[in-house]
């Protein structure tokens, strides 16, 4: 019997791209291209991803060269958080006939806040017969988990969620944008003067509202500083954050619906103190009430496992920009990943 392989390109070889590479290889996916930016250009992806062996795939920063010269079924995209940055890159992938699985936060549910870009990608993807989706940890904990929990309710008045992430697992850019180490006064000035981008939780709440068949009528967001209770070393900031300085930010979102239920979320992005873990909690008020709590969660790895588990769903999906709530229920996919790609979809056959 002939084996088949999904062929993939990794677009962005940072923390997430490296983990994703290892997971893809482990699930029998053949990686045929790697797109980087400044670091590790010319080096082999296998070596940079820590596989301990070469994949024969040099990291190239000429995206067009990689996309036009490597036939791939899917591109795993993890290099930016906003739709404007993702847009031209996704267009290139689509025009080269490739499906896209992106962990770009704003692409998770772009129909509300970024509907012009979403529609443009949707039209282009339909024309080229491929599918684009946004996924990541929110696919599970901010959408499918709470959406499934809601099935126990006859009536919903409100849905509120809370989650956290350890900023020390991100790079220095994240530390700066979160205002780490600022005094409360400097934080207020900075965040009052700078227009803040939509939060990942806010974007996901809009997806949840759509998934539950409700209609968005308004949304609000604010950023609240979390202050250090004691001197705490930060890897991301590369210094000790003093007691009383900003140790993180809470992104607080509220989404109203025409039908009445209010959705809210607080996402705490902070330097963890000993014993703190990524966690998530959802509370639905209605009849009956329902709560789900995940006390400890592998946020960083989970982002990448979810993206990889989504690969067959995205290859199988109808063409267009298909948000996560329109894909099949997210689930674990055992080895090999290509076993979940429906017959007739372009997978490479090898002897
Ligand atoms: N949806 C989710 O659940 C979720 C979870 C985690 C992260 N994210 C998002 O995923 C993105 C990546 O996260 P990360 O932790 O991997 O960040 P990271 O470690 O900073 O890596 C980002 C990588 O992208 C590369 N890059 C930047 N611009 C590029 C371009 N134009 N073309 C190709 N590569 C480019 C960078 O290369 P250089 O270093 O050479 O510039 C870097 O290697 C972030 O924007 C984050 O918001 C989403």
pLDDT digits (tens, 9 = 90+) for 195-239: 777 888 999 999 999 999 999 999 999 889 999 999 999 988 889
- The C-alpha atoms of residue 304 and residue 318 are separated, in whole angstroms, by 23
Residue 346 has a pLDDT of: 53
Shortest-distance atom of ligand 1 to CA 170: 15
Residue for token pair 């308004």? 218
pLDDT digits (tens, 9 = 90+) for 21-66: 999 999 999 999 999 999 999 999 999 999 999 999 999 999 999 9
Shortest-distance atom of ligand 1 to CA 134: 1
Are residues 83 and 114 in contact, defined by beta-carbon separation less than 8 angstroms?
Answer: yes
Q: The domain 3-135+310-350 is classified under which CATH number: 3.40.1500.10, 3.30.1330.10, 3.40.50.720, 3.60.150.10?
A: 3.40.50.720
CA 111–ligand 1 middle distance (angstroms): 22
CA 345–ligand 1 middle distance (angstroms): 29
pLDDT digits (tens, 9 = 90+) for 156-206: 999 999 999 999 887 666 777 788 999 999 999 988 777 777 888 999 999
The pTM of the whole model exceeds 0.85 = yes
CA 177–ligand 1 middle distance (angstroms): 15
CATH of domain 138-298: 3.30.360
Ligand 1 site, residue 14, Cβ cutoff 6 A:
yes
Express as a percent the part of the chain with pLDDT over 70.
Answer: 95
pLDDT band, residue 328 (cuts 50/70/90): very high
Shortest-distance atom of ligand 1 to CA 38: 40
* Topology agreement, domain 3-135+310-350 and domain 138-298: no
Domain ranges of the chain: 3-135+310-350, 138-298
pLDDT of residue 349 exceeding 60, the answer is no
Mutate to test the pocket of ligand 1, among 16, 133, 137 (most ligand atoms within 8 A of CB): 16
Q: Residue 328: which of 137, 144, 96, 81 has the closest Cα?
A: 144
Ligand 1 site, residue 198, Cβ cutoff 6 A:
no
Residue 171 has a pLDDT of: 65
- The C-alpha atoms of residue 50 and residue 295 are separated, in whole angstroms, by 30
Residue 343 has a pLDDT of: 64
Are residues 200 and 267 in contact, defined by beta-carbon separation less than 8 angstroms?
Answer: yes
CA 313–ligand 1 middle distance (angstroms): 23
Ligand 1 site, residue 80, Cβ cutoff 6 A:
yes
Residue 2 has a pLDDT of: 40
Are residues 180 and 303 in contact, defined by beta-carbon separation less than 8 angstroms?
Answer: no
Instruction: Output the residue whose Cα is nearest ligand 1's atom 18.
Output: 14
Shortest-distance atom of ligand 1 to CA 108: 1
State mean pLDDT over 292-301.
Answer: 92
Q: Residue 72: which of 41, 101, 99 has the closest Cα?
A: 99
CA 179–ligand 1 middle distance (angstroms): 19
Are residues 99 and 197 in contact, defined by beta-carbon separation less than 8 angstroms?
Answer: no
Ligand 1 site, residue 82, Cβ cutoff 6 A:
no
Ligand 1 site, residue 85, Cβ cutoff 6 A:
no
pLDDT of residue 350 exceeding 60, the answer is no
pLDDT digits (tens, 9 = 90+) for 251-272: 999 999 999 999 999 999 999 9
CA–CA distances in Å: residue 346 to residues 4, 29, 73, 91, 349: 10, 13, 7, 20, 9
Instruction: Output the residue whose Cα is nearest ligand 1's atom 5.
Output: 303
Q: Could you count the other beta carbons within 10 Å of the beta carbon of residue 86?
A: 27
Mean pLDDT of the chain: 93
């Amino acid at each position: 019997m002939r084996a088949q392989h999904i062929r993939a390109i990794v677009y962005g070889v940072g923390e997430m791209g490296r983990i994703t590479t290892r997971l893809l290889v482990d699930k029998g996916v053949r990686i045929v291209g790697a797109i980087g930016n400044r670091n590790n250009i010319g080096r082999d992806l296998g070596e940079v991803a820590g596989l301990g062996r070469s994949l024969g795939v040099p990291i190239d920063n000429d995206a067009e060269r990689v996309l036009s010269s490597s036939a791939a079924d899917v591109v795993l995209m993890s290099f930016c958080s906003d739709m404007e940055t993702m847009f031209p890159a996704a267009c290139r992938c689509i025009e080269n006939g490739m499906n896209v699985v992106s962990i770009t936060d704003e692409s998770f549910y772009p129909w509300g806040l970024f509907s012009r870009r979403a529609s443009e990608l949707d039209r282009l993807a339909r024309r080229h017969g491929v599918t684009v989706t946004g996924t990541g940890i929110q696919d599970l904990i901010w959408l499918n988990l709470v959406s499934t929990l809601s099935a126990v309710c006859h009536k919903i008045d409100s849905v509120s969620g809370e989650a956290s992430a350890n900023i020390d697992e991100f790079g220095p850019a994240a530390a700066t944008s979160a205002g780490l180490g600022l005094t409360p006064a400097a934080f207020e000035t900075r965040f009052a003067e700078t227009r803040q981008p939509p939060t990942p939780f806010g974007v996901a709440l809009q997806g949840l509202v759509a998934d539950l068949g409700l209609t968005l009528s308004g949304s609000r967001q604010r950023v609240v500083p979390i202050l250090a209770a004691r001197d705490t070393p930060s890897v991301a900031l590369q210094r000790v954050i003093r007691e009383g300085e900003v140790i993180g930010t809470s992104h607080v979102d509220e989404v109203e619906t025409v039908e009445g239920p209010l959705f809210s979320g607080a996402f705490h992005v902070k330097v963890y103190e000993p014993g703190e873990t990524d966690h998530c909690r959802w509370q639905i008020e209605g009849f009956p009430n329902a709560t789900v709590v995940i006390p400890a969660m592998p946020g960083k790895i989970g982002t990448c496992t979810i993206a990889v588990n989504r690969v067959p769903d995205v290859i199988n999906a109808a063409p267009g920009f298909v948000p996560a709530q329109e894909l099949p229920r997210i689930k674990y996919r055992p080895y090999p990943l290509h076993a979940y790609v429906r017959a007739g979809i372009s997978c490479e056959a090898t002897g």
